[in-house]
Each structure stands twice: as structure tokens, then as C-alpha cells.
């Protein structure tokens, strides 16, 4: 362990939360999935709801989320995480329930489940990791891939006439009456991570109110799929994804 | 200047360098050595860390523990006198 200064007289100001298991994560270096896992688990730890929380993992790179998240977890079939979370929440309404999905999972094969879950106003938190690509399967175009983006299935860049337009599914679900809180955040800087943490905290605090679905998009990276270093990937994301997917709240609960 | 330091779990660090970019003090750098997974891990390269936790917040692998000198007692939230 490297530490130039002695820690004897110092206090710990940041440490790994107990809600993250000790299992090292399998994600590529610099992948945003790890940061989101960690922030989510920090909130659950700080709110003291570890034994009252149930998470639903997707198919995609985060398919093994249940190995890292030290709460009750259920794996869902591809795209169906919000439907599975609906069932869990309805049977166990006193639990805090969240789903965790990538863009291929939530906005391609699971589009129907996503829209209907929010339209029913299910009292769950949906976390949506938008890295504009299918990371797990080798970097194919996702519905959220941006125009011009080179992927393994759009080697000359995504073209709207051939591949359609990027799907802004978060804007879409914002329009639905069942949406209670919708926000778009990121994890590329310490300040962004702090804001995401606040958004997750707010979502769990809203859940017992039974007012509808909380939906958090995290604009994230995929250094391997994008064929960039993590630093390059975050810079590319800021320059190219943020204009299309601007960071900020899309729907906030009305003050009583 | 508040003093702090970091402890890096070199076995799980993947050398992504995001913490290096996030550190306002340029306290961190890559080691010349590799860990058992073949990654050059991160280490303190200057003893000027302030314990701001920025590096820990951006680390995808939760490999960083941050320490800080205790702040003046009167300022700690537990001891703060509520405003009347
Ligand atoms: C029914 C079914 N169709 C297709 C696949 C192949 N598949 C696995 S993951 C995935 C998409 C992953 O992309 P995303 O949800 O964006 O997750 P990421 O890896 O980018 O985090 C696909 C198409 C599958 N596993 N099951
Ligand atoms: S392929 Fe992409 S999304 Fe998957 S772990 Fe690697 S960087 Fe992350
Ligand atoms: S705690 Fe702050 S100053 Fe210390 S290494 Fe991390 S980012 Fe740098
Ligand atoms: S952010 Fe974490 S994994 Fe990446 S280089 Fe720093 S300590 Fe290692
Ligand atoms: Mg994806």
C-alpha cells in the first residue's frame, strides 16, 4: 500500500461502503458501470435500507451486478428488468425496489416494458445507463448511438436514413403521467458523481410516497466499445453526447 | 492547508487514470510496476494530498480509501451549536 503521509492521527473520510461486496468488478478499466454501482450502494448504505432494498439486474455488461451489490437481487431476462421490478414491488410494497439497465436492454429489446412501467406509474426507481452502444456483445449500434457514431455495425458512422435517429427515451418517458421524477446525470467528474448521488437519494425518499416512477438516466461511457482510453472516452462523451442528452432534471415533483 | 492521504488497493486498481485526472493536487500517478492482473496501478507521487475525496468519487473500482486530519472540533457537525 502506498501512503506517503502517516494515517495515524487521521480519520477516514472515504471508504468502500459495506453495501458493495468485496468481489472485484469485471468491468473494463474506467467503465462508468462501476461508478454507478458504487454511488447507488453508498446511498443505500447511508440511508440504512440495505435489508429493505431489492435490485433487478439486466442483460448487458452489468449482468453480474448481483455479484457486487450487497442487497437482495434478482436477474431479469433481457429488457424485462422493469417488469420484474414491478412484480417484486407489488408483492413487497414496503421494499425499496430498483431496476438497473443499459441502453440496449432498456431502450431496444425492453422498450415496451420501459414505457408501460412508467406509464403505470410503478413505484420503483429505474436506473438507465446510456453508453450509446451494446458494450457486452462487442460494440454494436444501440438505439441511443448518436448520428455519425462509429460502431461495429455502423463502421461508416450511424446514418439516419439507414439506421434511424438516436432514441431519447428519457425525454419520451418524461411525457408519461406515471413519471414522478425524471433526471439525466453523469459520472465523469467528482461534481457529477455528487449530483447523481443526490438524485438517487431523492428517488429512494420519494418511493414510499407512492407517487409514481423515478427514472434516472446516467450518460456514461464504454471505453472498450468506443475504442478509446477512459480519459478520451469521457471527453468524447462530453463533446458529443451531452449536446443530445443534456444533463439536468426533466421532471421534478411539484411542491405541495 | 488541510492534510490528507490516500490508500490505494493496488490489487483491484485497473490503472484507468480517472483518479489522476480528477486530483486537483496532482498527487497521483501510475506506478512502473504492474499488479497481478497486469495493470499499472496508481500510487501517491507527491505528499500534498488534502483528502478532498475527488479521486475516490470517480474511481470505478472503489480502490481508494481517503484519510484526512481531523478538522477543528468546534466545526464538526456533531459539536456545532445550533443557531437560536
Ligand atoms: C433475447 C436476447 N437477445 C439478444 C441478446 C444479446 N445481448 C446481450 S447484451 C445485449 C445488449 C447490451 O447492451 P446494453 O444493454 O446497452 O448494455 P451494456 O453492455 O452497454 O452496458 C444484447 C443484444 C441476449 N442476451 N438475449
Ligand atoms: S464493454 Fe463497455 S460497458 Fe462493458 S465493461 Fe467494458 S467499457 Fe464497460
Ligand atoms: S483525496 Fe483529493 S488531493 Fe488527495 S489524492 Fe485524492 S483527489 Fe488528490
Ligand atoms: S480511478 Fe481507481 S481503478 Fe482507476 S486508476 Fe484510479 S485507483 Fe485505479
Ligand atoms: Mg449500452
Please report the domains of chain A, with CATH numbers, ordered by start residue: 27-251 (3.40.50.970)
State pTM to two decimals.
Answer: 0.95
CA A253 – CA A26 distance, rounded (Å): 37
Chain A residues whose CB is inside 8 A of the B67 CB are: 5, 7, 10-13
Neighbouring-strand partners of residue A81: none
CA distance readout (Å), B29 to A25, A55, B3, B32, B37 = 22, 36, 19, 10, 18
Q: Kindly report, residue by residue over B42-82, the tens digit of the pLDDT.
A: 999 999 999 999 999 999 999 999 999 998 765 544 444 44
Q: State the Cα–Cα distance between residues A218 and A220, nearest whole angstrom.
A: 6
What is the pairing mode between strands A11-14 and B64-68? antiparallel
Domain annotation covers residue B24: yes
B18 CA: nearest ligand 4 atom: 1
The SS3 of residue B7 is strand
**Chain B hits for A11, Cβ within 8 Å:** 67-70
Query: Does the distance separating the beta carbons of B67 and A30 come in below 8 Å?
Result: no
Euclidean distance between CA atoms A149 and A22, whole angstroms: 36
CATH code of B47's domain: 3.30.70.20
Is residue B78 in a domain? no
Domain that holds residue B40: 4-69
Residues 222 through 251 of chain A touching chain B, CB cutoff 8 Å: 223, 229-231, 234
List the Cα angle A43/A206/A78 in 5-degree steps.
70
Judge whether B54 lies within some domain: yes
Task: Tell me the pLDDT tens digit for each residue of A35-53.
Answer: 999 999 999 999 999 999 9
Tell how far the Cα of A58 is from the centroid of ligand 2, in angstroms: 14
Please state the domain count of chain B.
1
Q: Which residues of chain A are within 8 Å of residue B62 when distances are taken between CB atoms?
A: 16, 20, 34, 38
Q: Is residue B77 part of a domain?
A: no
A159-168 burial, b at 16+ Cβ within 10 Å, e below that, comes to eeeebeebbb
| Interchain CB contacts (distance < 8 Å): A and B | 116
In a domain, B52, yes or no: yes
For residue B59, is it within any domain?
yes
pLDDT of residue A68: 98
Any domain includes B80: no
Confidence (pLDDT) at B80:
44
> Max CA-CA distance within chain A?
64
In chain A the beta strands, taken as DSSP E runs, fall at 11-14, 53-57, 72-75, 96-102, 125-130, 179-186, 213-219, 248-251
pLDDT tens digits for A58-116? 999 999 999 999 999 999 999 999 999 999 999 999 999 999 999 999 999 999 999 99
| Predicted confidence (pLDDT) at residue A2 exceeds the cutoff of 90 | no
- B79 domain-assigned: no
> Do A10 and B69 make contact, defined as CB atoms within 8 angstroms?
yes
Q: Is residue A142 classed as helix, strand or coil in its secondary structure?
A: coil
**C-alpha A223 chain-centroid distance:** 16
Amino acid at each position: 500500500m502506498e501512503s506517503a503521509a502517516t494515517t495515524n492521527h487521521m480519520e477516514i473520510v472515504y471508504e468502500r461502503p459495506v453495501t458493495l461486496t468485496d468481489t472485484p468488478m469485471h468491468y473494463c478499466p474506467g467503465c462508468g458501470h462501476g461508478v454507478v454501482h458504487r454511488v447507488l450502494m453508498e446511498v443505500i448504505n447511508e440511508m440504512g435500507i440495505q435489508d429493505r432494498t431489492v435490485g433487478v439486474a439486466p442483460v448487458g455488461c452489468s449482468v453480474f451486478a448481483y455479484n457486487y451489490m450487497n442487497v437482495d437481487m434478482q436477474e431479469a431476462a433481457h429488457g424485462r428488468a422493469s417488469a420484474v421490478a414491478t412484480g417484486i414491488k407489488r408483492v413487497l410494497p414496503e421494499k425499496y425496489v430498483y431496476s438497473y439497465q443499459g441502453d440496449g436492454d432498456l431502450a431496444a429489446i425492453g422498450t415496451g416494458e420501459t414505457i408501460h412501467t412508467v406509464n403505470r406509474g410503478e413505484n420503483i426507481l429505474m436506473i438507465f445507463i446510456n453508453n450509446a452502444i451494446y458494450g457486452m456483445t462487442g460494440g454494436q449500434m444501440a438505439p441511443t448511438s448518436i448520428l455519425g457514431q462509429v460502431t461495429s455495425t455502423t463502421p461508416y458512422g450511424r446514418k439516419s436514413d439507414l439506421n434511424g435517429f438516436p432514441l431519447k427515451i428519457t425525454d419520451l418517458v418524461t411525457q408519461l403521467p406515471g413519471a414522478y421524477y425524471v433526471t439525466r446525470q453523469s459520472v465523469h467528474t467528482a461534481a457529477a458523481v455528487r449530483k447523481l448521488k443526490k438524485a438517487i437519494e431523492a428517488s429512494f425518499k420519494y418511493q414510499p410516497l407512492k407517487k409514481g416512477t423515478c427514472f434516472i438516466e446516467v450518460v456514461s461511457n464504454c471505453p472498450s466499445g468506443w475504442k478509446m482510453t477512459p480519459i478520451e472516452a469521457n471527453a468524447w462523451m462530453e463533446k458529443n453526447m451531452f449536446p443530445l442528452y443534456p444533463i439536468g432534471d426533466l421532471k421534478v415533483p411539484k411542491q405541495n | 492547508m488541510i492534510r490528507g492521504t490516500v490508500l490505494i488497493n493496488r490489487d483491484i486498481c485497473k490503472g484507468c487514470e480517472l483518479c489522476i485526472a480528477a486530483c486537483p493536487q496532482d498527487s497521483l500517478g501510475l506506478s512502473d510496476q504492474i499488479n497481478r492482473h497486469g495493470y499499472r496501478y496508481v500510487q501517491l507521487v507527491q505528499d500534498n494530498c488534502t483528502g478532498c475525496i475527488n479521486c475516490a468519487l470517480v474511481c470505478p473500482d472503489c480502490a481508494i480509501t481517503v484519510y484526512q486530519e481531523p478538522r477543528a472540533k468546534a466545526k464538526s457537525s456533531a459539536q456545532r451549536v445550533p443557531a437560536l
